[in-house]
């Protein structure tokens, strides 16, 4: 074990510096963009001290949510804040927990400076976490939440045990790629036996893994993780239509598209595009950047439309471009920052403004709307972070204080409606007054919402605002600065 540790450290140092490919020179921001030039007189709000008072308010609310998890569900996957009970996420039938909320929270606790909470979480992980579980495991969620969470935790405190756990889980997941005739991943794997299942995979499952697996390749010096993910992206890209649009799912054994619906930034295709671009932003992969532009240009051409003065993405048939529906999932709102990072700031701004219009109507965004009327087609809200994700990245891309203001508006809506006496929870109906609450705090709430908000207003030496990159699950995969007080804990 000592030998492994020493080897990893040496490799890690060299490869973190070098990256898997050449990352473009100059100061990079989240999304890998150089800062856009601004008109004379524009006040860049990034240069100042942030807003320590608001940062502290957000930090306090995070602790309120965390305390509820600690009180009722510590070591379980999630908490049910109203009933005060624990909840299983990955293995509800087997009643096995992997302490998901702890893993999701690691780098948030770190950047917020909750060191004793972080140490308690790490102690739980080092004592209890074991992936030898004889049950099927959802690989999409497992990679972005657990592999990503352990890697972000490792990048924060540099304890080799976290890296070993991330590698152990990734090795148990690898059969989804290596057993697939096309290289595109199956949906699920049995963590103990390596048996794979689920042959028709949605695009998000096929393509939301290169960031976590690429970091793992960097840290271990083993390129097989990155290469498996890259092959899957290539295979999916090669199945685009003559319009350069992609369908929603593919049979990973035959390679046939099983659903030709292109829902663009909406599920089930959403984070596929995020990771095609991310492979460039995080690892300098120019081929992926080319793929991103090909696909994004086609979406801009065939999906984007101006409707009643607002900008939205239609869902279309990928073969013909024919309209399927004009629904918009809240989950798509992250795309405002991605399309801006990819070079189209005016489209990103317009899309963000469209969502801000909905936020003015519903202080907590509904899960989905019909954008011809701005009315909900699903009136719940599962404590969704995507709008705040865009606020955060657009703020750091542009320095425009409008994004901080609208982020605070989002925070106020969340605090006024999703707060419970002991924690935070999901909303069952955003259209009622007061909003009807549900009974669940999703683990991603510890990874995303509060972190995006906090890192707009806070200035902490533990986070590099000049050069960062976060995964689809809000994991800080670049930009964590080690603190000697915690290193190796």
Q: Which residues bind ligand DMJ (CB under 6 A)?
A: 271, 331, 384-385, 444, 448, 472-473
Q: Minimum distance between the CB of residue 380 and ligand DMJ, rounded to whole angstroms?
A: 12
- Strands (DSSP E) contained in 198-270 are 200-202, 249-251, 257-259, 261-262
* C-beta nearest to ligand DMJ: residue: 472
Q: Minimum distance between the CB of residue 267 and ligand DMJ, rounded to whole angstroms?
A: 8
User: Closest CB to ligand DMJ among 274 and 400?
Assistant: 274
User: Closest CB to ligand DMJ among 257 and 471?
Assistant: 471
Q: Minimum distance between the CB of residue 212 and ligand DMJ, rounded to whole angstroms?
A: 12
Q: Minimum distance between the CB of residue 141 and ligand DMJ, rounded to whole angstroms?
A: 7
User: Closest CB to ligand DMJ among 302 and 392?
Assistant: 392
Q: Minimum distance between the CB of residue 35 and ligand DMJ, rounded to whole angstroms?
A: 25
Tokens of 55: 């940062």
CB 382 within 8 A of CB 367: yes
CB 222 within 8 A of CB 294: no
User: Closest CB to ligand DMJ among 149 and 348?
Assistant: 149
User: Closest CB to ligand DMJ among 105 and 331?
Assistant: 331
Q: Minimum distance between the CB of residue 381 and ligand DMJ, rounded to whole angstroms?
A: 10
- CA-based nearest residue to 261, from 247, 272, 241, 251: 247
- 3 state DSSP class of 409: helix
Q: Minimum distance between the CB of residue 291 and ligand DMJ, rounded to whole angstroms?
A: 19
Output the CA–CA distances (angstroms, integers) from residue 273 to 128, 353, 482, in the order listed.
Answer: 35, 21, 30
Q: Minimum distance between the CB of residue 167 and ligand DMJ, rounded to whole angstroms?
A: 22
- CA-based nearest residue to 8, from 131, 155, 107: 155
- CA-based nearest residue to 268, from 314, 325, 204: 204
User: Closest CB to ligand DMJ among 230 and 384?
Assistant: 384
Number of helices and strands in the chain (H, E):
19, 20
User: Closest CB to ligand DMJ among 23 and 246?
Assistant: 246
User: Closest CB to ligand DMJ among 384 and 478?
Assistant: 384
Q: Minimum distance between the CB of residue 149 and ligand DMJ, rounded to whole angstroms?
A: 11
Radius of gyration over alpha carbons of the chain, in Å? 21
Residue 317 class from Cβ within 10 Å (0-12 exposed, 13-18 middle, 19+ buried)? middle
Tokens of 421: 């006496």
Give the ranges where 285-385 is alpha helix by DSSP (H).
286-302, 335-341, 345-361
Sheet holding 249-251, edge to edge: 200-202, 249-251, 257-259
- Strands (DSSP E) contained in 284-441 are 304-307, 310-313, 315-317, 323-325, 327-329, 368-370, 375-378, 427-429, 436-437
User: Closest CB to ligand DMJ among 331 and 455?
Assistant: 331
CB 436 within 8 A of CB 391: no
Q: Minimum distance between the CB of residue 420 and ligand DMJ, rounded to whole angstroms?
A: 19
For the residues of 21-53, what is the DSSP string, one character each?
SPPPSS---GGGPPPPP--TT---TTSS---HH
User: Closest CB to ligand DMJ among 75 and 148?
Assistant: 148
């Amino acid at each position: 074990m000592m030998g492994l540790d020493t080897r990893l450290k040496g490799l890690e140092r060299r490869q973190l510096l070098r990256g898997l490919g050449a990352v473009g020179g100059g100061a990079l921001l989240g999304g890998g963009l150089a800062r856009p030039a601004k008109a004379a007189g524009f006040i860049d709000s990034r240069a100042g001290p942030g807003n320590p008072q608001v940062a502290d308010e957000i930090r306090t609310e995070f602790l309120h949510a965390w305390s509820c998890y600690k009180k009722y569900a510590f070591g379980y996957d999630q908490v049910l804040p109203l009933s005060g009970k624990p909840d299983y996420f990955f293995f509800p039938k087997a009643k096995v927990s992997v302490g998901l909320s702890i893993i999701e929270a690691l780098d948030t606790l770190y950047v917020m400076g909750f060191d004793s909470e972080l140490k308690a979480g790490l102690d739980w992980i080092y004592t209890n976490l074991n992936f030898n579980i004889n049950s099927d495991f959802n690989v999409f969620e497992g990679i972005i939440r657990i592999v990503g969470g352990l890697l972000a935790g490792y990048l924060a405190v540099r304890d080799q045990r976290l890296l070993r756990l991330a590698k152990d889980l990734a090795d148990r997941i690898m059969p989804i790629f290596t057993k697939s005739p096309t290289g595109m991943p199956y949906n699920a794997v049995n963590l103990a036996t390596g048996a794979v299942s689920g042959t028709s995979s949605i695009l998000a499952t096929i393509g939301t893994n290169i960031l976590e697996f690429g970091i793992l390749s960097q840290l271990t010096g083993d390129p097989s993780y990155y290469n498996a993910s890259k092959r899957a992206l290539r295979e999916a890209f090669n199945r685009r239509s003559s319009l350069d649009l992609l369908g929603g799912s593919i049979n990973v054994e035959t390679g046939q598209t099983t659903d030709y619906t292109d829902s663009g930034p909406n599920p089930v295709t959403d984070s596929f595009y995020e990771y095609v671009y991310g492979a460039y932003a995080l690892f300098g992969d120019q081929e992926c950047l080319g793929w991103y532009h090909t696909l994004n240009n086609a979406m801009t051409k065939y999906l984007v439309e101006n409707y009643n003065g607002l900008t939205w993405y239609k869902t279309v048939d990928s073969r013909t471009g024919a309209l399927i529906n004009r629904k918009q999932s809240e989950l798509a709102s992250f795309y405002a920052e991605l399309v801006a990072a990819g070079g189209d700031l005016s489209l990103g701004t317009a899309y963000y403004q469209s969502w801000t219009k909905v936020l003015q109507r519903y202080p907590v965004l509904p899960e989905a709307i019909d954008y011809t009327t701005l009315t909900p087609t699903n009136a719940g809200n599962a404590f969704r972070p995507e709008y705040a994700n865009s606020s955060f990245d657009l703020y750091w891309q542009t320095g425009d204080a409008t994004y901080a203001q609208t982020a605070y508006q989002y925070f106020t809506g969340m605090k006024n409606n999703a707060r419970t006496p002991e924690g935070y929870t999901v909303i069952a109906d955003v259209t009622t007054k007061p909003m009807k609450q549900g009974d669940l705090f999703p683990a991603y709430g510890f990874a995303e919402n509060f972190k995006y908000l906090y890192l707009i207003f806070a200035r902490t030496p533990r986070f590099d605002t000049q050069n960062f990159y976060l995964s689809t699950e809000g994991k800080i995969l670049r930009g964590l600065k080690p603190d000697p007080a915690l290193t190796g804990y």
